[in-house]
């Protein structure tokens, strides 16, 4: 879990608070390989793949599918942690239920992943592209 506070730096802009809960520190073989591939530069990609599209389709996409399956399993094993995180951040108890319904959805290998806007006040985003990220943004207009 991470907490960030972004103070307004110009007049008439809000302060923003961010709470984040993620599975980015998962230590599986797929996660380690994925993190390594994300560090490749264009020259390295061109050396091993015909073009950038092949790199995404052949190298990253299968790992993203695997990561979504692994992080889904982590979130389901730790359902109380995820539910309590959302319940603590949002007054509406249905938001936690909606988040977990999305987590339980079948991983679709045809898609690159999904991001849901679960709630707008506070702004709750659920990102399931590779690792599972749950972010809550609080806007303080002063």
Separation CA 22–CA 10 (nearest Å): 30
Give the residue extent of every domain in the chain.
Answer: 2-140
What pTM did the predictor assign?
A: 0.86
The residue among 32, 136, 132, 41 whose CA lies nearest residue 84 is 136
End-to-end CA distance of the chain: give it in Å, rounded.
Answer: 25
What would the pLDDT profile of 53-108 be if each residue is shown by its tens digit?
Answer: 999 999 999 999 999 999 999 999 999 999 999 999 998 989 999 999 999 999 88
Separation CA 117–CA 100 (nearest Å): 13
Residue 11: DSSP 8-state:
T
Residue 111 near residue 105, CB atoms below 8 Å: no
């Amino acid at each position: 879990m991470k907490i960030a506070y972004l103070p307004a730096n110009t007049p008439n802009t809000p302060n923003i608070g961010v709470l984040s809960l993620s599975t980015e520190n998962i230590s599986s073989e797929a996660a380690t390989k994925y993190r390594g591939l994300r560090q490749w530069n264009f020259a390295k990609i061109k050396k091993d793949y015909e073009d950038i599209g092949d790199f995404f389709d052949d190298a990253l996409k299968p790992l993203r599918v695997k990561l979504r399956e692994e992080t889904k399993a982590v979130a389901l094993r730790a359902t109380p942690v995820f539910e309590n995180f959302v319940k603590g951040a949002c007054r509406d108890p249905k938001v936690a239920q909606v988040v977990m319904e999305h987590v339980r959805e079948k991983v679709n290998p045809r898609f690159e992943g999904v991001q849901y806007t679960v709630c707008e006040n506070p702004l709750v985003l659920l990102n399931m592209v590779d690792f599972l990220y749950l972010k809550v943004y609080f806007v303080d207009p002063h």
